[in-house]
Amino acid sequence: MSKINDFLLSFNPGYSDLVQLAESGSGRSYYRFKAEDKTYVLTESEDISENESFFYLSELFQNLNGLVPKVLKINSNKDLYIQEDLGDISLLELKLKDDTNTSSLYEQAVKKLAHLQIGAHQVIDYNQVYGFSSFDKILVLRDLFYFKDYFLDLINLDYSQTELLQEFDQIAEAIVQTHYRFFMFRDFQGRNILIKDNKTYFIDYQDGMEGPIAYDLVSLLWQAKANLTIEEKDSLYSIYTSELKKLLPNRFNSSEFKQDYHICLLIRLLQVVGAYGKLGFIQNKTHFRDSLALGIENLNQIAEMGIIDKFPTLKNICSSLNLTHIPKNNI
């Protein structure tokens, strides 16, 4: 803690009330502290490349008038940094409370999303983003194997591994053929949208890359815990695509975007269940284990929608899953 103390003293010698915040699914640690009657957030992370991506994207988004946290100070090692405090209220939290402003905030979020995806792509240097610069076949296969390795292979469900792997390859190839590839946030969900003064602020975007922008829309509308109704999803989908038509007046095609949306929907829902399995049962994080039931419900739902009929093995798996397939103990 001496390193943290020295850094905070360099920011403000009179800082006080340092409190560690709840853990997240990442390897980052967050703290809140007070200085001169204002609160700030301190982040500690040993992943320097990820931190540098966050610094770069934060500045880029701010230049595009995107509402993201301002980075106020970075230490010389780039493993500690201070941000403005946007509070603790997320869009997901308001949705779970049935807040009356939730609908308008979701609408605000999808409109801002479209503008930042297109605007950032026009000026970004993808060589400066963390890890992968593009959501390509290799990365898709990694996400699909998350589902297989950290969930499917841990439960008692028979399936043809050969046929499943063939379908994984087809799905990954389909991503290469998506029509609308711009900046993709990668984990655009209600938990990563904070609300302050009735405005939506985006956080946790350091893994952003070039990719199918429908993936971000899917991530928000199909967040398991948010449990948006079909009507809510359809309305937000229409608002988002209407915004895209304005931003891409000479090239937007509704049927092409719907194709992108469906393949991204399948990949995202499988990846989320795999991530819940890894974080919940391998790393023993209770929140993610408890969320598996909602993830399974989403997979059941898309199996009934007809969008995965071309992948019969996966459709059978998604149709067969139920709550009895959730392991009761850590793996």
Q: What is the pLDDT of residue 25?
A: 60
pLDDT tens for each residue of 179-224: 999 999 999 999 999 999 999 999 999 999 999 999 999 999 999 9
pLDDT tens for each residue of 226-280: 999 999 999 999 999 999 999 999 999 999 999 999 999 999 999 999 999 998 8
Q: Which amino acid, 159?
A: Y
Cα separation, 42 vs 217, whole angstroms: 29
Task: Spell out the SS3 assignment of 219-234.
Answer: HHHCCCCCCCCHHHHH
Question: What residue ranges in the chain does DSSP mark as E strands?
Answer: 16-20, 29-35, 38-44, 71-74, 80-84, 181-184, 193-196, 199-202, 209-212
Nearest residue to 86 (alpha-carbon basis) of 4, 200, 187, 9: 200
71-77-79 Cα angle (round to 5): 55
Q: What is the pLDDT of residue 77?
A: 97
Evaluated on CA atoms 99, 104, 107, 109, the torsion sign reads negative
Domains of the chain, start order: 14-84 (3.30.200), 91-325 (3.90.1200.10)
Cα separation, 80 vs 48, whole angstroms: 9
